[in-house]
Amino acid sequence: MIHIENLTVQFGAVKPLDNLNVTLDARICGLIGPNGAGKTTLLNVLSGFITPVSGRIDVDGTDLLSLSPIQRVGLGLRRSFQTEQVVEDLSVYDNVLSLLDHVGVRGEEAAGQVSRALHFAGLAGIASQLGGELNLYQRRMLEIARALVGGPRIVLFDEPGAGMTENEGQTLRETLLAIPDEFGPQVLLIDHDVDLISATCEKTLVLDFGQYLTYGPTASVLADDIVRKAYLGME
């Protein structure tokens, strides 16, 4: 569970996040909002890449903001990026192993975890291929696999479905839905695909210009008039 209190991020006169208060308690939480709403900024704050000017983030009793980005990885924080970040010169296997290198998992235990994640993501058959040889779908799935090793507690996905075909999107939905049961972490998902959000997220947080708009069960959030007007562009 992620508890966010009075969180403000400020760059000069701009406030990408403005006094955000919310408790993200669903196993899979959606995060939506128009461009510039502060979605990725929130993920970057959670990852430790951006330091807020004020506020507190509590993850299962741990003060997240007191930890360095590396310590957060040790705590079990994982993430993917809007622009996929597969390393082209590393094999699929080593792309996943690169995370375990830094959380103290080695040898047979590491091999087991990498194998499990690659089987889960449907990449077991191409484990020895180079990252540079993968198509976009495989790269996205590889990022998911990398986020699922080393005992993940919170997984942040930033538009994992971007650029996928309908069939690939369907597989992605099934994959995301299975993550909490199979690997145990809470998932925070940003995506502009409302169908993906409604099919996978139990609850959804809506941001607008860095401010909290609403948070609740996804179906009711998406039916909310304010959300429909602010985000979906419907009157």
Partner 1 sequence: MSRAIIREDVIPMPNRYRTLLEIPVAMALVMLVVVSTANAYWISTFTSALALALAARGIGVLYGLLGLVSLCQFALIGIGGWMMLRLSHGTGLPFEINVLIAGVTAAGVGVVWGAPALRLKGLYLALVTLMLAGAYQVVISATGFPDGGAGFLGRADATQRLMLERPVIATSNSSYLVYCAIWATGGFMLAEWLRVTKMGRSWAMIRKDDNTARSVGVNLLTYKIIAFAFAGFLAGVGGALLAGGVGQLDGRAFAASESLFLFALSVVAGVYHWYGALIAGLLLRAVPSLLTDFEINGYVAIIFYGSALMHALITAPRGIAGQISNLIGKIRTIAIPGTGRQAL
Footprint of partner 1 (CB under 8 A): 47-49, 69-70, 73-74, 78-79, 81, 85, 87, 89-94, 97-99, 101-103, 108, 111-112, 114-116, 118-122, 124, 127-130, 133, 146, 171, 174-175, 177-178, 182
Secondary structure class of 33 (helix, strand, coil) = coil
Q: Provide, rounded to whole angstroms, the least separation between the CB of residue 231 and partner 1.
A: 27
Shortest gap between Cβ of 199 and partner 1 (angstroms)? 13
Q: Which helix (H) or strand (E) holds 230?
A: helix 225-230
In whole angstroms, the minimum distance from the beta carbon of 20 to partner 1 comes to 22
Rounded to whole angstroms, the Cα distance separating 61 from 58 reads 6
102 or 229: whose CB is closer to partner 1? 102
CA distance 149 to 123: 14
**Partners of 2 in beta bridges:** 24, 59
Judged by beta carbon, residue 80 or residue 218, the one nearer partner 1 is 80
CB 81 within 8 A of CB 140: no
Shortest distance (Å) from residue 119 CB to partner 1? 5
Minimum CB distance to partner 1 smaller for 81 or for 209: 81
Residue closest to 79 by CA, chosen among 6, 141, 5, 143: 143
Q: Closer CB to partner 1, residue 196 or residue 213?
A: 196
CB of 228 to partner 1, least distance (A): 32
Nearer to partner 1, 130 or 209 (CB): 130
Q: Which is nearer to partner 1, 60 or 101 (CB)?
A: 101
Max CA-CA distance within the chain? 57
Under DSSP, is residue 56 helix (H, G, I), strand (E, B) or coil? strand
Tokens 């951006």 belong to residue? 50
Smallest separation, CB 118 to partner 1 (Å): 6
65: nearest Cα among 56, 73, 74 = 56
Whole-number minimum distance, CB 110 to partner 1, in Å?
9
Q: Which long-range contacts (CB under 8 A, 24 or more apart) does 18-21 make?
A: 18/209, 18/210, 18/211, 19/55, 19/211, 20/55, 20/207, 20/210, 20/211, 20/212, 21/212
Q: Nearer to partner 1 by C-beta: 186 or 230?
A: 186
